[in-house]
Chain A
Amino acid sequence: MSDPIKYLFRFLLFVAVQALVLDHVEPLHRFLSPIVYFQFLLWMPFSISRQWMLVLGFLLGFALDLFSHSPGLHASACLWVAYMRAPLVSLLVPSDTRELKTGAPGIYSMGLPSYALFMFILTFFHHTWLVLLEWLNAGDFVYFLGKVFFSSLLSMVLMLIVELLFRPLRKRRIG
């Protein structure tokens, strides 16, 4: 399957799972909402241009907004993920890594510690912005702090599980 089609399917799948399944799960607590859809942005290849990344981030967020009736909310949060991705990659990945040309962020290309850090920082950016906007609309400070912290943790765990289930763990050997 060619790459653009693969990404399109991935996009639709992430939006569908988030909007139709995860958003309908009864919350264990008001601080815990499972959010994983922006992992789509994390999985885009290293080589994608930053402009495309921003456009994709906006589209992904907006697609989800159409389901949750909050135009602009998720789009705005996804833009942070898309914008912060490239600086983080150049910070966490040594510039002589071979995967920078062909690969995508993942445990196999970055190693577990750097990838986990990469995931955590982007999750944190996404959730902080999302809950901040929600708080400005209606909410209180305790809700803001609690939801950012606990939802970030929950998202990290879920994203690691998705990562372990669907992506290669080791570098592929060639030949």
Chain B
Amino acid sequence: MRNFFLLLRRIQVFLLFLVLQLVSLALLVRYNKTHQARYMETAYEVTGRINKQYNNAASYLSLGDNNRRLAEENNRLRNLLAENFISIDSSATLVKDSLFFDSSRVVRKYLWRHARVINNSVNSQTNFITLERGRAQGIAPEMAVVSAGGIVGVVTDVSDNMAIVMSLLHKKNATSVMLKKTGTSGILEWDGRNAGLLQLRGIPKSTELKVGDTVLTSNISLNYPPGLMVGTIARVEKETDGNNYRLQIKPGTNFYSIDYVDVIENLFLKEQREIEQRIKKQQQ
């Protein structure tokens, strides 16, 4: 027994190294598996606050660029205002019934909330963005994030006042998108090489397309509303095997300078999940 303790004493440095190494690897593996480690929340609140201070100072440097982008977006939105459109047909007479019935039955499906970016990375293979808006402000995992230029990513993790967004620049990211012209849908991915180019797979070679065509979010995406700007085709490569194109997409969002984004909640997400689950169960 004495010898055993002597041995322990002799290799205590190595043992400590081993224990700490195991702790770090366990943290890493557990976090990678779920991206939702509760114990990290408090820590992120603190680092998030530091990043916010830093961002307050740094955001002065990009004010001009931001103003230009906001002005462009305002212009686009003003063009969509109802006053810009008139109804020519006035032949029908409108009779008001005393019983009010809303025949259009408009129900809100997507809710937009704006948020500020306080940390952003483009250097890694797995890039994340931190938003200064969290659970207390209505953000939940799986909500879509878009900037003025195009889509940005999906919320993966929230704490009370911060949210972590998995950016499109993440090797495990896969988004369902479509070509604007033909409506053909494919999967948007990132190969980790260049923050200015994303890859679009699954577009058959029979599809008509050319460089510069617009790519939008598809109408079967769960997170994103259909028809949001994703980017434009920058280069067309033919895959050597198979009958699909491999397209290089230039993202509409400039990932090097994201300051303000909108977080979009799909209010029907839960309902859609539930009914699809039910069908799956019935099929089995």
Binding site for B on A (CB under 8 A): 19-20, 23-27, 30, 33, 50-51, 54-55, 57-58, 61-62, 66-73, 75-76, 79, 82-83, 133-134, 137-140, 143
Contact = CB atoms under 8 A, between A and B. Distances in A.
Given A58-B20, A58-B24, A72 B126 contact: no
Q: Which 10 pairs from chain A and chain B are nearest by CB?
A: A72-B28, A72-B27, A138-B171, A72-B24, A76-B24, A75-B24, A71-B27, A50-B13, A83-B17, A66-B47
B17 A66 contact: no
Given A19-B47, A66-B44, 5 more contacts: A66-B47, A70-B28, A71-B27, A79-B17, A138-B126
Given A66-B43, A137-B32, A72 B25 contact: yes
B20 A79 contact: yes
A173 to B, nearest CB: 35
B128 interface: yes
B187 interface: no
A19 B14 CA distance: 29
A67 B51 contact: yes
A51 B125 contact: no
Nearest to B40: A71
Interface of B: 12-14, 16-17, 20-21, 23-29, 31-32, 37, 40, 43-44, 46-47, 50-51, 54, 119-126, 128, 130, 164, 170-172, 192-194, 256
Contact of A54 (B17, B51, B125, B193): B17
Contact of A137 (B37, B119, B126): B126
B16 A54 contact: yes
A20 B54 contact: yes
Contacts of B24: 58, 61-62, 71-73, 75-76, 79
B23 to A, nearest CB: 7
A69 B13 contact: no
Contact of A51 (B16, B28, B164): B16
B131 to A, nearest CB: 13
